[in-house]
Structure 1
Amino acid sequence: MYSSQFDGASMFSGGGFMSSQSTQATDSGSFTTKSRGGLGLLPLTVKQINDAYLSSDDKSNFMIDGVDANIVSLVGMVMNKLEKVTDVNFTLDDGTGRIGIHRWTNEDAATNEMAYVNNGMYVRVNGQLKEFQGKKQAVAFSVRPVTDFNEIANHFLECIYIHCHNIGSQNSGSDEPQTSPGPGLMTPSQNGSMKHQPSIMTQFSGHMVDAGSDFDQMVLAVFHEPENLAKESGVHVDKIVERLGVPKNKVMASINYHTDNGNIYSTIDDYHYKSTIGG
């Protein structure tokens, strides 16, 4: 059922491990903003989560390296899987620590997904950090078996890269700690106009924020529209079909692709999806 979405060669595309980053202008015509509210999927290790602390201004969000850790991505081994009627719980061990994972299975898609997840299997978990009875856990919206073990090494490289960047931003006095906000955002230029800026993880690795084919990028662009980011329940599949004028099965194939890659997640049912950029 699961095919590998990981392309090991793509992480070195662009000519180098550390690609150059855009610099923020410091003249009076520019401005800076803090990366708040979980702008995207943040690759983490369990140890980083265990060391996280609650932000002072938002008791529901954890702070890691100066960034709100809301929507996160983890890779590790499944242990102690426990299936119930409406949910599945298991422990994820990534070698740096262990964390509890909770996956609701009210919908058929989630039930089918978890049927392929077994103890001793390596998986990628995309979900939201929570605290319950004093313990940190992740409420997953995607649990995908790892089929290419290069993905494990790549994940830890991503964790190191983002950690070093965010720590470096703090040490240099920058006001912009970074998460991985998805495949390209609009950012202000020096003259006040808006320009397209690839995300850090797009420059570093084609896996974490891979937007796929041209059609996949068109689908993702709909989710990234401001009015759709603001919707709590996300976007209905039929809206995308109507918007793009293509068959529903083609849209669903693209949605499954983006779900597997952590770009979007299902909300109130199997037909409503929301971008991870919106938290």
Structure 2
Amino acid sequence: MSYGGGYDDNAGGYGSQPTPSRDKPRRDYDSQTLIPVTIKMILDAMSSPSGDGASGDLVLADERPIHMIKLVCAIRTSEARSTNTFLDVEDGTGIFQVKVFSSGRDDGSGDADCSAMQQMRMEACQDNQYVRIIGQVREFDGTRQIIANDVRVLSSGDELSYHYLEVAHSYEKHLKRKQQQGQGIFGGGMMGYGIGNVASSGGPPPHGGGVGLSAHGGNLGGGSRINDAVIAFIQSEGSMSDSGVHIDQIKASLASQGFSNSDVMNAINELSNEGHIYSTIDEQHYQYAS
């Protein structure tokens, strides 16, 4: 199996750490948080050329810089070598390559992981196994790869669902922070990352113009009176809880406005498919896609 792009065992690549240039601006370590991601998010990330054959920081489509990432995925193939193991992983949004060092960390510290941690990490690197990976995304000569700091087998299938919720929640928090700062809102949405309403084939949720409720009951972007009523209720009540609003609450509230339960369910399905709202902890709870 060939991986190219300077990832051979004997290539320079990541085995050695270049001395940082004095002229290169210092990284903002406060922004280097652990970000839950999907493979599609990494593939769609933009890179800033550094001029030395490698690339600078990778930036997600929503303008967050990538440093440490968390990915939940399935290992499809693995190839063990003398000092490392290469994995081909996929999560339903794409396929990516992961490099796991057999002899411990490759962070230049010279501090190797304890043997128990090494053994646990390597035992997780088995074909057709679902794992949680924490690591850094590196790019060299246009080829991207995850350098894994840790690989763990999932203890439950719930971890996969929880990870997608984390991805969506992290995105929404970032979006809300940018809105509060008065910065421009990027397009796309969680459906652009391959998730959001995972089963939906709809396009990315709209952001920006036409989503505010005016004093005269302006259009919320739902396209009809009942759709706007559903969005308005979820916006109002959903802000009080990360889990959003239960559909029974929506039905009860809109019944007083003359809408039947079937009308409400049709509106919820339509808004979900269009990306205006998304399900959270289960298919009975919905949150507004800001």
TM class by shorter-chain length?
0.3 to 0.5
Q: Which has the higher contact order (CA 8 A, sep 6+)?
A: 1
TM-score (norm. length: structure 2): 0.45
- Larger-gyration structure (1/2): 2
TM-score (norm. length: structure 1): 0.47
